[in-house]
Chains A and B, each alone.
Chain A
């Protein structure tokens, strides 16, 4: 029984240490309770929380997002060349921080897991006093963190999240999304597919078996079937399957002549590579050339798939080769700082940080309800997507959608996608109540 004696003594010692700790003045005297809203900045700085995947499957996207956030903070504080602040239609930000306070930031690792993401968001809110949380590289995580921010009473500016649910079924008053969604991808892609492949096609879907995949599959089906396409089958594949050969072999015998890959990240890289290696694109089915479509493209993924993306259609939120003033300014300042062009994840995160800071400045406060009111119905331009509106009814940005194609003759390893068409905003707009869900009231915390 000697071990318990040892424990007791060890414990006595630690209790003594605890006594010393007791003497320390603690946070119970915190002034947080008297504030008008949670984490109201009292000093000369205001803290933003950047919650991105630093480990796990989306670590590449996360790293790029973090670079963009750091750049945005520099520009808001008046360092660097100002980037898209110079082209942004709202001139409220003066390059001296927000509401006279210098912006500082804290970071956290979401690990692309809802629990870890919520834990790190909570740390930033409870310990570091973050006034706003932004980031996310997958819809599950974004929705989970959005719910947390609603409960806690801070604004959430969603990063890369493409599922309809983020501003549909699971929308929250404190959450805002700049990125587009699967509904818009479907609406934008369908006409291009019709022009290139005709209206008499049979599609075969391979879908990542989780909410985003289903959302994507549903939207593409809806819009292609409206064109007159048929759907031969929609097969669900487990996330992170690695080997897709068993799913690709049956495609040729199904009578389908188009393969739609509702995959993202490494899944997309693997499934596309294998589909091309199996020679699908060289086949002729129903007298037509076999085609592959990847509804959601990102440059990082296209780079991963290399040669195989050539000539394959998809949609994207933004691409660095765009020639408007905003995009050029952003690519220039990002390139100067990091030496390579930004991804669409970086672009949406940069924009979100700027949009939030601008809204605070215009509202003259950081209070979530005030900032939200400033963002609702806000129309702006000069952030790389042309004229854009933050719709009040669901806190979703509406803007033009890019339809892109894998470039046949890339000039560099970053130059893998070319813009085929810019689908105008009117064509991808849908009624706010179509996706269900309820915003509810703002929560200011405290």
Chain B
């Protein structure tokens, strides 16, 4: 049990996180986000951002190519479905392993440089992977159309155990439990909780401390005769494995892998998620991932009809004005809202949403005269 000897606060944090994830469908229902697909996205991108944060939040290496590992995980998972079995376990195991291997390869080369050069190198590798997947490697990736399942796939393991899907297109199932809808969300949710636990252990470990030291002053580390490369590479590979796992889960809940998962916009998205939530904090990236996915799916769906309904209580002329003004920010304008929000957060809350929560927290404790935290330390996020 030594391994599980955790700080009391950490245990509480972990338990609260687990409860929040598992009751997600209920908590998010009032916000219109309590439907399986979006919940799955929350969990999956939460994992992706958690992993990204291990690299960016701890070592400060800003990778602009993490989508390549996500895509790699998806392709691996779909191929596992096609060749071996529709069970999600082999799929996510292979996806994680392939994500890690691919990260080791790219990391080995890119980590020779740091700062902007590192970012550009990772961006270049990811864009290369995207173009390969989009056209050159079409026999493997099915190009623009995306890799999909087929009735005629071999599925060696399934055949061996006498599983027959008949004439319908199979969907992934966990020993008979269909991986779409709520079971799919709970599967992803439990994986997210495990990932959160691992990330927490990494944050609290001497290894995590070493990574923070690299972030604060890598030169000094080197001068003391310390070789930082293995540590940064390890962090890169771990975050690549997280990304591969997330990609694998995307394929589990929706058996399709498309090249655009590897595009630079997807890499940029995870950077946004992490910064929006709070880089270097444990919870921040998960919250950031949730916020961005919420905007993408809910705000983009507001159309004129819905807006009319919202402003129903106003007199008609005012209603029309309000609808046309707010129409700019919803529907196809959701990018604008997200951009504005991102700017506000970066300017006023450089530590992301987590800093915001902490400030509110400090405000409340000071007012109630608690103040047991000592000095208000908004420096939670680096």
Q: Which residues of A contact B (CB under 8 A)?
A: 1-12, 14-15, 17-18, 21-22, 24, 26-27, 54-55, 59, 106-109, 113-116, 118-120, 122-123, 126-128, 139-140, 143-144, 147-148, 150-152, 163, 165, 170, 172, 209-212, 236, 238-239, 438, 440-441, 443
Contacts and interface: CB of A to CB of B under 8 A. Distances in A.
A144 B250 CA distance: 14
Contact of B36 (A126, A165, A440): A126
A443 B180 CA distance: 15
Interface of B (DSSP majority class): helix
Given A119-B38, A119-B296, A440-B168, 6 more contacts: A12-B16, A118-B254, A123-B297, A139-B145, A140-B144, A438-B151
A interface: dominant SS: helix
Contact of A126 (B37, B144, B171): B37
Contact of B26 (A22, A59, A139, A211): A22
Contact of A18 (B27, B283, B358): B27
A55 B37 CA distance: 21
B38 A239 contact: no
Contacts of A10: 357-358, 361
Nearest to A23: B26
B26 A26 contact: yes
B145 A5 contact: no
Given A5-B9, A139-B145, A144-B145, A22 B131 contact: no
Nearest to B293: A119
A292 B336 CA distance: 40
B256 interface: yes
What range describes how many residues of B lie at the interface? 35 or more
Interface string B136-177: 001000111110100100000000000000011101000000
B83 interface: no
Nearest to B149: A147
Contacts of B354: 7
Contacts of B332: 54-55, 59, 109
B228 interface: no
Contact of A7 (B13, B32, B34, B254): B13
B218 to A, nearest CB: 23
B148 A18 contact: no
10 closest cross-chain pairs (CB), A and B: A210-B144, A54-B332, A3-B380, A122-B37, A114-B258, A127-B35, A140-B144, A11-B16, A126-B35, A209-B135
Interface of B: 7, 9-10, 12-13, 16-17, 19-20, 23, 25-27, 29-30, 32, 34-38, 41, 131, 134-135, 138, 142-146, 148, 151, 167-169, 171, 180-181, 250, 254, 256, 258, 260-261, 281-283, 296-297, 300-301, 303, 331-332, 334-335, 354, 357-358, 361-362, 365, 373-374, 377, 379-380
A123 B254 CA distance: 13
Nearest to A113: B260
Contacts of A165: 145
B146 A144 contact: yes
Contact of A120 (B35, B297, B357): B297
Contacts, number: 184
A22 B256 contact: no
Nearest to A22: B26
Given A12-B16, A54-B331, A151 B180 contact: yes
Contact of B16 (A8, A54, A108, A122): A8
Nearest to B266: A115
Contact of A119 (B131, B181, B297, B334): B297
A109 B300 contact: yes
A258 to B, nearest CB: 25
Nearest to A163: B145
A3 B377 contact: yes
Contacts of B256: 114, 118, 144, 147-148
B145 A211 contact: yes
Contacts of B34: 26-27
Given A18-B23, A144-B145, A3 B358 contact: yes
B196 to A, nearest CB: 13
A441 B7 CA distance: 55
A250 B224 CA distance: 59
Given A4-B13, A115-B261, A21 B29 contact: yes
A170 B357 contact: no
B148 A236 contact: no
Nearest to B25: A26
B373 A6 contact: yes
B327 to A, nearest CB: 12
Contacts of A140: 143-146, 258
A4 B204 CA distance: 11
A67 B380 CA distance: 49
A5 B373 contact: yes
Residue of B13, B138, B254, B365 most packed against chain A (CB within 10 A): B254
A155 to B, nearest CB: 16
A26 B28 CA distance: 10
B335 to A, nearest CB: 7
Given A3-B377, A114-B146, A118-B256, A9 B361 contact: yes
A210 B135 CA distance: 6
A144 B147 CA distance: 9
A115 B148 contact: no
A109 B148 CA distance: 22
11 contacts: A7-B358, A11-B16, A18-B26, A108-B300, A119-B297, A139-B145, A147-B169, A172-B169, A211-B138, A211-B142, A440-B151
A240 to B, nearest CB: 11
A112 B19 CA distance: 36
Given A144-B146, A211-B144, A21 B13 contact: no
A107 B144 contact: no
Looking at A7, A11, A119, A438, which has the most chain B CB atoms within 10 Å of its CB? A7
A438 B153 CA distance: 13
Given A18-B23, A59-B332, A109-B332, A119 B37 contact: yes
Nearest to B166: A441
Nearest to B16: A11
Contacts of A150: 169
Contacts of A27: 25, 29, 34
A170 to B, nearest CB: 7
Given A21-B29, A114-B258, A143 B146 contact: yes
Contacts of B260: 113-115
A51 B74 CA distance: 24
B361 A6 contact: yes
A15 B19 contact: yes
Nearest to B360: A10
Contacts of B29: 21, 24, 26-27
A122 B293 CA distance: 14
A19 to B, nearest CB: 9
A108 B297 CA distance: 8
B41 A119 contact: yes
A4 B9 contact: yes
B350 to A, nearest CB: 15
Nearest to A14: B20
B380 A11 contact: no
